[in-house]
A and B are shown apart, each in its own frame.
Chain A
Amino acid sequence: MAAAASPAKIPGVATTAYLALAFLYIPILIVIIFSFNANSLITVWKGFTTDWYLKAFQNDDLRRATINSLVVAVSATVLSTLIALMAAIGMRGKVPRAVGQSSSFLMTLPLLIPEIVIAIATMSFFFIIGLDLGLGNVLIAHTVFCIPFAYSPIRARIETLQPSLFEAAADLYATPWQSFRRVTLPLMLPGITSGAMLAFITSLDDFIITQMVAPPGAMTLPVYIYSMVRKGITPEINAVSSILLVISIILVVSSYVINQRKAV
C-alpha cells in the first residue's frame, strides 16, 4: 500500500534513519570486537584471541544463566503476546464498562510502577504463597510485566482496522474463527510482531525483578552481568553476548523465512 512516492517522502527522514541505525549498531560492533580482546579488562586492546568463547562455554554458571535467559525470554514472549492479543481483541468487543475500565487500568499499571517495587512485591507474594517452581517463578514474573509491552503496538494496530472488513467477511459466510484467521490475523501481523519483539527485549534485559524473584540456580544472564559489580564486564561476557545475539538472529530469521513461505 505504501509507495515511496514523492508526496510521502519527507526530506531528512532517510538520513536520520540511517544515522540512527549507525548509532544503534556501533556499540554492538564494539561488543563483538572486544570479545576477541586478549586482555581480561575490556578496555585496552591487547591482541586477538578466541579464548574467551572457550572460557564462556566452560563456565557452567554463565552457560546456565544464558540458557535460562533464552528459555524465559522465548516462553514469556509467546505467553505474553498471546494473552495481549486476546485481550486487545476482547477489548474491541462488547465488554461491560467496569470490566473494560479495570482492564485498561491493569494494563497500564505495570508500566507505572518502578521495577524495584514490582520486584519486592512479587518476591514477597511468592514467598507468602510458597511458590517454588524454580525457573517457573521467573517465567511467571516476566510474563506479567511483558504483557503491557506486547499489548501496546497490537492495540495501536487494531485501532486502524475497520469494522467493515469483518462485516464483509461475515457476509461472505466466514465463521468468526475463519474471519479471525484470514482477515484479522494477517492485518494484525505487524502489530503482533512488534509486540512480540518488545516483549522479547524486555524479558531478555530484565534484572531487577529477576534478581529478587529467582530461586537458587535460576539466575539469568542480566542478573549475572549486573552482579559483576566489582570486576565489571569481562570479554567472557562479551563473548556470551555475541553468541546470544547470533542465536537470537537465527531464531528470528528462521521465523521470518517461515513466515515468508506461508505468503498469506
Chain B
Amino acid sequence: MKIKSFVLAISLAALLSGPVYAANDKKLFIYTWDTYKNDDLFKKFEDETGIDVVTDIYSSNDALIAKLKAGGAYDVVMPSGPYIPLLASETLLQPLPADLQAYGEKMAATVKNPGFDPKNEHSLPLFWGTTGIAVNTKLVKEDITSWDQFFTRPDGEKKSLGVLDDTGTVMDVAALALGKPYCEDSADTYKAIQALLIKQKPFVKVYGATGYVERMAANDIAMQMAWSGDAYLARQQNKDIKYVYPKEGVEVWIDNLAIPSTSKNPENAKKFIEFVLKPENLAAYAEFSGYVPSMDAAKDLMPAEIKDAPEFNVPAGLNAPVSTTCAPKVVKNQQKIWERVLK
C-alpha cells in the first residue's frame, strides 16, 4: 500500500506541476506534418521574437480536420490544398489579414491564385510538389516513362510496387494515367479507375505511406508512387533511386499555411507566417523538407544541386494539373473504389 501511495503522490505532484498551456502572449502552437517540423528554423523564430514554439504533428489532413472540429486551439496549421475549401466552409479557418494576403502576389506561377483559394483569403502556399514515380534503378532495368508501366505489369512478375494510401492522390494519378480529368463524376470513369487499380493489385507489395521513404531507401520496393520531396529524401539515402515524370502527367499538390479560427494567438501566428515567407527562411525550410518553396525568390537562394534536382523541376510542357477538392458525391464513390481494391 505504501508504494502505491508514494507513486500516487509523485504522479499527482508531477501532473499538477506539469506544463499548463494556458493562452499566453508568448506562445505559438503549430500543428503540422512530421516532415515540416523544422526544429532549427523554429528555434531561429524563437530567438528572433521571444515567442515559445510548441509543435504537435499530425499524420493526415483528416486528423487535422477532426482536431480542429473538436476545438483544438492551434495557431498555425499546414493543410493540403484540397482541404482548404473544406476547412473554410466549416469555418475552421480565420480569414487572413490583408497584409498577409498581399504575399499572394509574390508567389511562383505554379501556386499563384490556386483554384482552391484564388484570393488567398484563408491560406498562403508554403510548398508544392508533384506525385510521380520513384524508380529503384537497381531493381528495375527498363526505362520508365509512362504510368502505364506502373499500372500494368507482365504476368507472373513478383510483387514489387508501392502505392500510396491517400485516396485523393491515388484517384488523381489514376485519372491522369487514363487521360481523364480529376474528380470526374461519371460511372464509366469510376469503373475504369477501379479496373485499373484492381488489375495492378497482384503486383503491389505495399499500400501505404507510413515509413515509405525508408522502404524505398532499403530496396524493398522497385517502383513507388511517391511525392517528390519524399523521393528526394530517399535519393539522399540511396543513389539508385530516380524520380520519374511519366509522360501522361503528374499531379501537383500544394501545402499551405493557415490560421485556425480557434487560435488563441493570431498575432503570433501572423509573425510566424511572415517569418517563414522571408526568402532566406523559406529556402532553408524547403531544403529541410525536400519540397519546392512557393516563392521563386526563395528557390533562387537554394544551393544549385538542390535547386536543379529533378524532384524540384517539372519538365516544361508536361501536363501538371493542381489537385483540387472533389464534390462529396465523388469522394464517396472514390472511397467505394478504394474499398473494393483493398478487399
Contact = CB atoms under 8 A, between A and B. Distances in A.
Interface stretch (B9-17, B187-195, B299-307, B312-320): B9-17
Given A44-B218, A134-B19, A123 B230 contact: no
Contact of B73 (A82, A136, A139, A215): A215
Interface stretch (A10-18, A21-29, A101-109, A221-229): A221-229
Given A41-B217, A215-B72, A233 B211 contact: yes
A229 B59 contact: yes
Contact of B19 (A64, A181, A212): A64
A224 B57 contact: yes
Interface string B20-34: 110000000101011
Nearest to B234: A41
A216 B74 contact: yes
A83 B209 CA distance: 40
B58 interface: yes
B67 A212 contact: yes
A64 B56 CA distance: 11
B70 A127 contact: yes
B73 A216 contact: yes
A123 B20 CA distance: 19
A230 B34 contact: yes
A58 B43 CA distance: 11
B12 A217 contact: no
Contacts, number: 131
Contact of A82 (B4, B14, B56): B4
Contacts of B56: 61, 214, 216-217, 219
Nearest to B290: A230
B296 interface: no
Interface size class of B (residues with CB under 8 A): 35 or more
Contact of A258 (B3, B57, B70, B233): B3
A192 B67 CA distance: 36
Nearest to A42: B214
B281 interface: no
Contacts of A231: 34-35, 211, 213-214, 233
Interface stretch (A71-79, A87-95, A152-160, A167-175): A71-79
B1 A185 contact: yes
B54 interface: yes
A256 B226 CA distance: 50
A59 B54 CA distance: 11
Contacts of A232: 210-215
B319 to A, nearest CB: 26
B34 A41 contact: no
Most chain B CB within a 10 A radius of its CB, from A74, A136, A215: A215
Contacts of A136: 15
B7 interface: yes
Interface string A202-221: 00000000011011111100
A135 B66 CA distance: 19
A123 B70 contact: yes
A255 B215 CA distance: 41
Nearest to B218: A43
B153 interface: no
Most chain A CB within a 10 A radius of its CB, from B19, B34, B217, B230: B34
A39 B218 CA distance: 12
Given A61-B54, A135-B15, A229 B209 contact: yes
Contact of A71 (B11, B67, B70): B11
Given A59-B39, A217-B19, A226-B59, A212 B213 contact: no
B102 interface: no
B153 to A, nearest CB: 26
A226 B59 CA distance: 7
Nearest to A180: B1
A43 B73 CA distance: 37
A75 B11 contact: yes
A259 interface: yes
B126 to A, nearest CB: 15
A227 B116 CA distance: 26
B18 interface: yes
B14 A41 contact: no
A124 interface: yes
Given A42-B214, A78-B7, A231-B213, A212 B66 contact: yes
A216 B21 contact: yes
A217 B21 contact: yes
Contacts of A224: 57
B70 A41 contact: no
A181 B39 CA distance: 52
20 contacts: A41-B217, A43-B214, A44-B237, A60-B54, A61-B56, A68-B18, A127-B70, A127-B71, A185-B1, A211-B63, A216-B31, A227-B58, A228-B59, A229-B34, A229-B59, A229-B210, A231-B35, A232-B212, A233-B214, A255-B7
Q: Which 4 A-B pairs have the closest CB atoms?
A: A232-B211, A75-B11, A227-B57, A232-B214
Given A134-B18, A228-B57, A258-B2, 18 more contacts: A41-B218, A60-B39, A64-B54, A68-B18, A71-B15, A71-B18, A75-B14, A135-B15, A216-B56, A217-B19, A228-B59, A229-B33, A231-B35, A231-B211, A231-B233, A232-B210, A232-B215, A258-B3
